[in-house]
Amino acid sequence: MTTPTATGTVVVTGGAGFLGSYLCERMLARGAQVICMDNFLTGDPANVEHLFGAPGFRLLDCDLTGFVHVPGDVDLVLHFASAASPADYLRHPIETLKVGSLGTLHALGLAKEKGARFVLASTSEVYGDPLEHPQRETYWGNVNPVGPRSVYDEAKRFAEALTTAYRNAHGVDTGIVRIFNTYGPRMRPADGRAIPTFVGQALRGEPITVTGDGSQTRSVCYVDDTVAGILALAESGFAGPVNIGNPEELTMLALAGLIRDMTGSRSPIRFIERPVDDPEVRRPDTSLAEEKLGWRPVVPVEEGLRRTIAWFAAEPVTETVA
């Protein structure tokens, strides 16, 4: 694979979303031309507004599940289009299945047509409610195919299968990254994910809503680390799948307490019903990323949270999350 350079062109699908907007930014900073494709289902042009005047940046209003045409050469396709937060994909179940299947088919077709490297944004959710802990890439997962979360989990599992088939049958240069929970500035305050929810509630002095008894664990990775890992894979030529996430594991109750302390909030913790099929534990084994990409997360959770809280505090946080 040729690393996109000053003359390289990168397509970022879902580029107006949380992760996609950082990828657009970083690729432009490296001298690439960036075509950001998005239908704004869960993203927002405001996430890339600061790039509008940048030379080489184009934003295309485009639904990946329909006809996709990009004129000219493309060196790299970063396929990030898909609702990602449970609240979003439960609200858009069919759209999520369509972008994971048809959208991935079209993004792979584009990479094949252009002879470009293709990177699929997969997810730790392919491991479902894992029976192996921490999760290594060799683990096949434990997913309920008819549970409410299956619209996302199975779409991503299908997308991984399709990506692998394009590699084997068509020789497309593909990479699969399994991203674990990532947080940071530009997350939507009401996207339903734990960190924006807890931060918003703490800043407003509302009860912090922890699901179940809060003993379930997650490993949260700061966005700069995740993006560095994704770009390391994009530039490596490695097929993966490879886990990108922070192996530091926290219970949800500990995370809520940390955010309450760091915001100086007096919000009480309120325990609410746990979603169906919510995974009990989640922690990446990142030894493959270290070995193949020389990547490991470097931002401690307190530092990442400090930056995130500062960003949310500067935003008009008015939405209430159930």
Question: Which residues are known to be catalytic?
Answer: 152
CB of 81 closer than 8 Å to CB of 37: yes
Task: Confirm or reject binding of residue 199 to ligand NAD (CB under 6 A).
Answer: no
Tell me the C-alpha distance between 125 and 82, whole Å. Answer: 13
CB of 124 closer than 8 Å to CB of 179: yes
CB of 228 closer than 8 Å to CB of 244: no
Tell me the C-alpha distance between 151 and 162, whole Å. Answer: 16
Phi, psi of 22 (to 5 degrees): -70, -35
Q: Which is nearer to ligand NAD, 43 or 214 (CB)?
A: 43
Which of positions 20-39 make contact with ligand NAD (CB under 6 A)? 20, 37-39
Task: Confirm or reject binding of residue 267 to ligand NAD (CB under 6 A).
Answer: no
Which of positions 61-90 make contact with ligand NAD (CB under 6 A)? 63-65, 80-84, 88
Q: Which is nearer to ligand NAD, 25 or 265 (CB)?
A: 25
Task: Confirm or reject binding of residue 240 to ligand NAD (CB under 6 A).
Answer: no
Tell me the C-alpha distance between 24 and 35, whole Å. Answer: 8
**Segment lying near ligand NAD (by CB under 6 A), choices 40-48, 141-149, 205-213, 295-303:** 40-48
Q: Which is nearer to ligand NAD, 103 or 134 (CB)?
A: 103
Task: Confirm or reject binding of residue 103 to ligand NAD (CB under 6 A).
Answer: yes
Task: Confirm or reject binding of residue 14 to ligand NAD (CB under 6 A).
Answer: yes
Tell me the C-alpha distance between 68 and 103, whole Å. Answer: 9
Residue count of the chain:
322
CB 146, min distance to ligand NAD, A: 20
Task: Confirm or reject binding of residue 182 to ligand NAD (CB under 6 A).
Answer: yes
Tell me the C-alpha distance between 51 and 44, whole Å. Answer: 13
Q: Which is nearer to ligand NAD, 14 or 214 (CB)?
A: 14
